[in-house]
């Protein structure tokens, strides 16, 4: 059913005792002339009549939350939703259901004796899978609140942290609107927010013996954490230039991507240039952050509908992470390791240039829209820890500060492999709020012993609101293109307000953050292992002083344990690689400081993929 174009699903019950029955369709705001349309949906029913009657005007229930209170959702103002009682275990006289149209909402009126911050917790049921709702205060904003799946839980009812709200003295309204829809809201708990405790973050990093400049970067971030200041950042060097030309300011951080260095993109002609961009921005005294839109190592769909360059999406390949991790001697596992080695090669270039990196791999995993998150938290965590081991123990990377990008506890790789926690914020248009719910969730996830950040934002948070909410985000990085260059997400006047705010730290505010820090690393990895399957299913291994291959058809038998050693089958034989040896298809064949094979096997040629640093047999 739709009323003036606003849709809502109506449940028509199965009639067993008589031919005709009635179904409640909800409450709607009508104007002078209105249209009600009933569409097929399941079909196979009769409709006899529609009864329209004025909704009884119940007095608005105002909940005094000055000292904390529980507000029953069913007592709120309902728009397109109804009160349900069929799912046992709810509080009060019922719960609110029927969130299926975009405008469906429940609004609760709260009274506060003074302007103050309050913590918000929502009692909900998500029996149709994990969902999100939009929460707004006094008709403004639209923070996304995550309702974790309760489908298989012993109790369908659970609580979700919704962050904080700043209530005015007097009456306020808090509304919950569909967003994903298909959930129940039972009750909202409002309690006065305690004064924030001092953060417990120390200067220790998870990688041992980092470069002095890596420690200097973290120390700079830490020195401002909790001070009411936030470091500014912008994705892509081209959009840094746009900010400089149109706003007149330069952000402190540039966000870059290792995407084009993915070997399955290089295969189709991609040429990465972001390392050069990092070197350029570092030379200006800026800070560098990286994510990796990792094109799947193999099994790309690659058709007219889903081309190869969408290979980082879940639908872009059939690469089964769980199966690959369970088969460490398989070709796909070897390709996965080889992909990591290709990116390590680029990170080693930055290490050689004494450039530290805020490294954010496997980002947004719990969204499951990328292949590394498509097979659940266990596989994703195993992959993250495998990468950490490979980069730290095998390649000896000491210029990385490891950033994890999820608020969901079941996806967390562990305190021992994470330095910084982050959330990618893309709220509804016009919402420049503090992202309070996710801030509180990350503080809890890291036990307030990790820095928390906004590695990607669509809408930049308003620095004035951040201070009111004590939301001590360390830094933000605005996404590129339309998110920064147009009026849609961040109007020019707002961008000017943000970048003229003295608490928003820019490139000119960094000072000599590196100090006298210089590299103590030769930036050379430990000996790498290439394992090539032979026709007799034995393994032939070779060692070299390379930064490892970019993409190889060989099979690696490296285990996913935390050991830096590489296991080999009993039939493996070892031989020393030299410049006279032959490199396999996809293997590295040249580049700066390369000491391995430079001759490619028959049918392939040594191609400079990222000159002068990296050449590959293609």
At 54-83, the pLDDT tens digits run: 877 778 999 999 999 999 999 999 999 999
For 113, which DSSP code?
S
Over residues 363-381, mean pLDDT: 96
Q: What is the pLDDT of residue 525?
A: 37
Spot the catalytic one: 364, 485, 487, 601: 364
Contacts (Cβ under 8 Å, ≥6 apart) of 75? 61, 92, 108
Where residue 577 falls among pLDDT bands split at 50, 70, 90?
Answer: very low
> For residue 367, with 0-12 CB atoms within 10 Å meaning exposed, 13-18 middle and 19 or more buried, which class applies?
middle
> What span, in angstroms and rounded, lies between the C-alpha atoms of 516 and 524?
22
Q: Which residue has the tokens 């924030």?
A: 196
pLDDT for the residue 18: 74
Asked if residue 229 belongs to a domain, the reply is yes
In a domain, 202, yes or no: no
pLDDT confidence of residue 561: 32
Range scoring the smallest mean pLDDT among 154-158, 426-430, 484-488: 426-430
- Given a contact cutoff of 8 angstroms between Cβ atoms, the answer to whether 601 and 617 are in contact is yes
Cα 618–chain centre separation:
34
Last residue of a domain, one of 28, 55, 82: 55
CB 442 within 8 A of CB 225: no
The stretch 478-491 carries a mean pLDDT of: 98
pLDDT at 40 over 90: no
Which tokens hold the place of 250? 């330069």
In a domain, residue 174? The reply is yes
Residue 260 sits in the same domain as residue 122: no
pLDDT of residue 571: 31
Instruction: Quickly tell me which residue has 């040249």 as its tokens.
Output: 590
| Residue 515 placed within a domain | no
Question: Which domain range does residue 381 map to?
Answer: 212-509
Residue 206 placed within a domain:
no
Average pLDDT, the chain: 87
Query: What is the DSSP code (8-state) at residue 335?
Result: H
CA distance 84 to 125: 12
Q: Are residues 356 and 277 in the same domain?
A: yes
- 573 backbone dihedrals φ, ψ, rounded to 5°: -120, 155
What count of other Cβ atoms lies within 10 Å of the Cβ of residue 46? 8
Bridge pairing between strands 253-257 and 287-291: parallel
Task: pLDDT band for 123, please (50, 70, 90 cuts).
Answer: very high
CA gap 616, 600 in Å, rounded: 9
Active site (annotated) includes residue 487:
no
C-alpha dihedral sign at 75, 93, 160, 382: negative
Please say whether the beta carbons of 248 and 281 come within 8 A. no
Cα 252 to Cα 293, 480, 481: the distances in Å are: 23, 15, 18
Are 182 and 229 members of one domain? no
| Residue 610 banded pLDDT, cuts 50, 70, 90 | low
How confident is the model at residue 614, as a pLDDT?
63
d(CA 385, CA 381): 6
- pLDDT band at residue 555, thresholds of 50, 70 and 90? very low
If asked whether residues 173 and 110 sit together in one domain, one would say yes
- Tokens 């935390």 locate to 562
Beta strand 599-600 with 476-478: parallel, antiparallel or unpaired? Answer: unpaired
Q: At what angle do helices 237-246 and 274-283 cross, to 10 degrees?
A: 40
Q: What is the CATH number of the domain that holds 102?
A: 2.60.120.260
* 66 and 51 inside one domain: no
Which of 161, 195, 229 is a domain's end point?
Answer: 195
Q: Is residue 239 in a domain?
A: yes
CA angle, 572 then 575 then 578, to 5°: 145
Q: Are residues 559 and 529 in contact, defined by beta-carbon separation less than 8 angstroms?
A: no
Q: Label residue 227 exposed, middle or buried (CB < 10 Å: 0-12, 13-18, 19+).
A: exposed
Counting residues of the chain whose pLDDT is more than 90, the rounded percentage is: 72
Q: Specify the number of domains making up the chain.
A: 4
* Whether residue 302 is found in the same domain as residue 320: yes
Per annotation, catalytic residue among 244, 456, 482, 487:
456
Where residue 533 falls among pLDDT bands split at 50, 70, 90? very low
pLDDT number for residue 222: 98
So what's the pLDDT on residue 548? 33
Active site (annotated) includes residue 485: no
Q: Does 85 have pLDDT greater than 70?
A: yes
Comparing 587 with 516, the larger pLDDT belongs to 516
Beta bridge partners of 184: 125
CA-CA distances (angstroms) from residue 289 to 155, 177, 532, 551, 604? 42, 35, 35, 24, 35
393 and 376, same structural domain? Answer: yes
477 in the same domain as 361: yes
Quickly tell me which residue has 């930055």 as its tokens.
350
* Same domain, residue pair 107 and 32: no
Q: Which helix (H) or strand (E) holds 282?
A: helix 274-283
| 30 and 72 both lie in a single domain | no
Same structural domain, 158 and 108: yes
Q: How confident is the model at residue 240 (pLDDT cuts 50, 70, 90)?
A: very high
205 in a domain, yes or no? Answer: no
Res 143: pLDDT: 80
Residue 86: the pLDDT is 96
Q: What is the pLDDT of residue 609?
A: 60
pLDDT of residue 546: 30
pLDDT tens figures, 160-206: 999 899 999 999 999 999 999 999 999 999 999 998 899 999 999 99
| Selected residue with higher pLDDT from 29 and 592 | 29
- φ and ψ at residue 593, rounded to 5 degrees: 65, 10
Q: What span, in angstroms and rounded, lies between the C-alpha atoms of 254 and 239? A: 9
With residue 238 as reference, give the H or E element that holds it. Answer: helix 237-246
Q: Report yes or no on 203 lying in a domain.
A: no
Angle at 463 between CA 459 and CA 468, to 5 degrees: 120
User: Are residues 46 and 69 located together in one domain of the fold?
Assistant: no
534 three-state secondary structure: coil
pLDDT value at residue 584: 67
Which of 388-397, 423-432, 538-547, 583-592 has the least mean pLDDT?
A: 538-547
Q: Is the pLDDT of residue 109 over 80?
A: yes
Q: Which of 55, 82, 98 is the last residue of a domain?
A: 55
pLDDT beyond 50 at 570: no
| C-beta neighbour count of 544 within 10 angstroms | 22
């Amino acid at each position: 059913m739709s009323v003036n174009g606003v849709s809502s699903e109506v449940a028509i019950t199965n009639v067993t005792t008589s031919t005709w029955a009635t179904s409640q369709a909800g409450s709607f705001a009508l104007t002078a002339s209105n249209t009600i349309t009933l569409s097929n949906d399941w079909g196979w029913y009769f409709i006899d009549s529609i009864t329209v009657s004025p909704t009884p005007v119940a007095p608005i229930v105002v909940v005094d939350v000055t000292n904390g209170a529980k507000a029953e959702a069913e007592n709120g103002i309902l728009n397109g939703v109804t009160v349900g009682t069929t799912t046992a275990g709810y509080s009060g006289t019922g719960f609110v259901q029927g969130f299926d149209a975009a405008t469906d909402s429940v609004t609760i009126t709260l009274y506060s004796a003074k302007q103050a911050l309050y913590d918000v917790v929502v009692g909900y049921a998500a029996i149709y899978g994990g969902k999100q709702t939009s929460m707004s205060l006094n008709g403004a904003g639209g923070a996304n609140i995550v309702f974790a799946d309760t489908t298989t839980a012993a109790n369908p009812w659970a609580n979700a942290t919704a962050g904080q709200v700043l209530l005015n003295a007097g009456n306020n309204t808090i509304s919950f609107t569909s967003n994903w829809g298909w959930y129940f809201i039972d009750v909202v708990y409002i309690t006065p927010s305690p004064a924030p405790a001092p953060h417990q973050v120390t200067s220790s990093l998870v990688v041992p013996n980092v470069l002095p400049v890596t420690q200097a970067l973290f120390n700079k971030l830490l020195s401002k954490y909790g001070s009411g200041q936030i470091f500014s950042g912008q994705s892509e060097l081209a959009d840094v230039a746009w900010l400089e030309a149109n706003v007149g300011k330069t952000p402190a951080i540039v966000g870059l991507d290792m995407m084009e260095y993915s070997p399955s993109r290089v295969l189709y002609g991609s040429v990465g240039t972001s390392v050069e961009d990092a070197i350029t921005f570092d030379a200006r005294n800026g800070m560098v952050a990286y994510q990796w839109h990792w094109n799947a190592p193999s099994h790309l769909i690659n058709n007219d509908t889903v081309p190869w360059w969408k290979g980082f999406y879940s639908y872009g390949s059939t690469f089964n992470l769980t199966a690959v991790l369970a088969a460490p001697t398989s070709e796909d596992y070897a390709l996965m390791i080889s992909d990591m080695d290709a990116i390590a090669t680029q990170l080693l270039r930055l290490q050689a240039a004494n450039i530290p990196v805020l490294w954010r791999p496997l980002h947004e995993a719990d969204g499951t829209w990328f292949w590394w998150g498509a097979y659940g938290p266990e596989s994703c965590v195993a992959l993250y820890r495998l990468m950490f081991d490979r980069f730290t123990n095998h390649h000896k990377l000491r210029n990385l500060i490891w950033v994890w990008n999820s608020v969901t506890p079941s996806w967390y790789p562990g305190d021992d492999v994470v330095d910084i926690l982050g959330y990618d914020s893309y709220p509804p248009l016009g919402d420049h709020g503090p992202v309070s719910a996710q801030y509180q969730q990350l503080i809890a996830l890291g036990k307030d012993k990790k820095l928390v950040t906004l590695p990607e934002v669509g809408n930049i948070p308003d620095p004035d609101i951040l201070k009111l909410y004590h939301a001590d985000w360390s830094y933000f990085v605005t996404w590129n293109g339309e998110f920064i260059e147009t009026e849609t997400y961040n109007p020019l006047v707002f961008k000017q307000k943000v970048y003229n705010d003295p608490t928003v730290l820019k490139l000119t505010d960094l000072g000599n953050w590196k100090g006298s820090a210089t590299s103590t690393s030769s930036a050379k990895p430990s000996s790498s292992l290439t394992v090539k399957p032979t026709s007799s299913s034995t393994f032939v291994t070779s060692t070299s002083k390379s930064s490892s291959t970019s993409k190889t058809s060989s099979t690696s038998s490296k285990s996913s344990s935390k050991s830096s050693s590489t296991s080999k089958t009993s039939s493996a034989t070892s031989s020393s690689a030299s410049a006279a040896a032959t490199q396999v298809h996809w293997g590295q064949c040249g580049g700066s400081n390369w000491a391995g094979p430079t001759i490619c096997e028959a049918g392939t040629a040594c191609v400079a993929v990222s000159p002068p640093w990296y050449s590959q047999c293609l």
